[in-house]
Amino acid sequence: MSIKKSLKVLLAGTSALASSMSFAAEEVNVYSYRQPFLIEPMMKEFTAETGVKVNILFAKKGLIERIKREGKLSTADLMLTSDFSRLTMFTEEGLAQPVDSDILNKNIPSQFHGAEKQWYALTSRARNIYSSVERVGPAPTITYQDLATPAFKGKVCMRSGKHPYNVSLLASIIAHEGEAKAKTWLEGLKANLARKPQGNDRAQVKAVKEGLCDYALTNSYYLGKMLNDPKQVAWAESVHINFPNQATTGTHVNVSGIALTKYAPNKNNAIKLMEFLSGDVAQQMYAEINYEYPVKEDVQPSKLVASWGKFKADDIKLSDIAAQHQAAIKLLDEVKFDL
């Protein structure tokens, strides 16, 4: 047997082995920047309804790079993110493909998808300022800009400026007011911090409860999550939730979202899952279990979230904020925000 021939046999064998390993069942593969336990209930419901198995691979960093390297061989069908900067990064890298579906068009309002429908938002959440019940009381007129004024010195707690939620907030301020003003704001905010940025959003509320600071910059849904945790309910009860900038630009809103990958091998199932996640059942679950705001207009937020009242959201285009993402990261370095 010639070398060439035996090589061919070997390759054929490899090929047969690989195809025998591949799966018979219907499935869809999701790369997720969101923790599995947050999305599992919806995925289980989807599998129960359709029989399609959902495989989730979670990581906080590097999934976009992985999919980029895997190229046309990637087995990932969907990219699920917890903020839109990753969604836009994903589409800008040319890793997504547009989805035109009547169901998605009907369920998701146009401000919640990419210009060419390469991504769709599934939920939205506000970036709130929580204030101490004991030392401040409700602060309905508070603004993000207030946090940088001398009156707030030593009273503010927040997580790392580099966290996507904070980067997006800063990017929105750059988009509204320009880089120079945003820098002054960021410097003022840094000067007012009660401690170096650290911990997650819940940890900031905990610090308010313990009297370390009076204000915490935190996403909306954490209050719901904490109220449902016997260990954390006391933290949650020590704060008021305020929606900043009601008289001005409106409260900054971020989204979690989903995009179909360019080479999705299970494209039909992937679109089915996207449609399911935008539908009544899943949107209701996002609202009730995770306390996020549903993007589907006729699905109501949970009772608890509704009790916080309606608010004016910043209506700037998400793509305008995303355009300032890199500028925001660089600004954070310039003022050494986390250091």
Partner 1 sequence: MISKSFNLYKLLPWVVTCILLSPVLAIFLSAFSVDESGSFQHLIDTVLSTYISNSLLVIVYVVLLSILFALPCAWFVACCEFPTREKLQWMLMLPLAMPPYIIAIVYTDLLDFAGPVQLTIRALFDWQPSDYYFPEVRTLFGASIILALSLFPYLYLLLRGAFLTQSAGLFQAARTLGVTPLRAFWRVSIPLSRSAMAVGISLIAMETLGDFATVNYFAVHTLTTAIYDTWLELGSLTTAAKISSLMLLAIVILISLESYSRRKQQVYQRNGSGNTELRFVLTGWQKWGVLAFTWSLLAFSLFIPITTLLYYAINYFNASLNNDLMQYTLNSLWLAFLVAILSILVALLVNFYQRLSPGLGAKSSIRLSSLGYAVPGTVVAIGVLIPLTSIDLWLNDLLLGLDLKPVGLLLSGSLVILVLGYLVRFSAIAVGSIDSNLVQVSPSLDLASRTLGNGPVKTLWRVNIPLIRKGMLTAFILVFIESMKELPAALLLRPFNFETLATYVYQFVSDEMIELAALPALMIIGLGLVPFIVVNRLLEKKT
Can you give the binding site for partner 1, defined by CB under 8 A? Answer: 8, 11-12, 14-19, 22, 29, 35-37, 55-66, 69-75, 89, 160, 162, 167, 195-200, 202-203, 206-207, 209-212, 231, 325-326, 329-330, 333-334, 336, 338-339
The pair of three-digit structure tokens given for residue 182, joined into one six-digit string = 């945003």
What whole-number distance in Å separates Cα of residue 193 and Cα of residue 68? 38
> Cβ 281 to partner 1, closest distance in Å?
24
* Complex with partner 1: residue 55 or 145, whichever CB lies closer: 55
CB of 64 to partner 1, least distance (A): 8
Dump the DSSP string for 98-109: ----HHHHHHS-
Q: Nearest approach, Cβ of 140 to partner 1 (angstroms)?
A: 27
Q: Which is nearer to partner 1, 165 or 243 (CB)?
A: 165
Q: Is 80 exposed, middle or buried (0-12, 13-18, 19+ CB in 10 A)?
A: buried
The least distance separating partner 1 from the CB of residue 264, rounded to whole angstroms, comes to 13
Q: Which is nearer to partner 1, 17 or 100 (CB)?
A: 17
CB of 210 to partner 1, least distance (A): 4
What DSSP letter does each residue of 12-55 carry, written as one string?
A: HHHHHHHHHHS--S-EEEEEESS-HHHHHHHHHHHHHHH--EEE
Closest approach of partner 1 to the CB of residue 306, in Å = 25
What SS3 state is found at 121? strand
Residue nearer to partner 1 on the CB measure, 62 or 178: 62
DSSP annotation string for 192-239: HBSSSS-S-HHHHHHHHHTTS-SEEEEETHHHHHHHT-TTTHHHHHTE
Question: What's the half-sphere exposure (Cβ side, CA atoms, 13 Å) at 338?
Answer: 14
| Beta carbon nearer to partner 1, 81 or 245 | 81
- Tokens at residue 210, please? 């313990």
- Burial class (CB within 10 angstroms; exposed 0-12, middle 13-18, buried 19+) of 304: middle
> Which C-beta is closer to partner 1: that of 270 or that of 299?
270
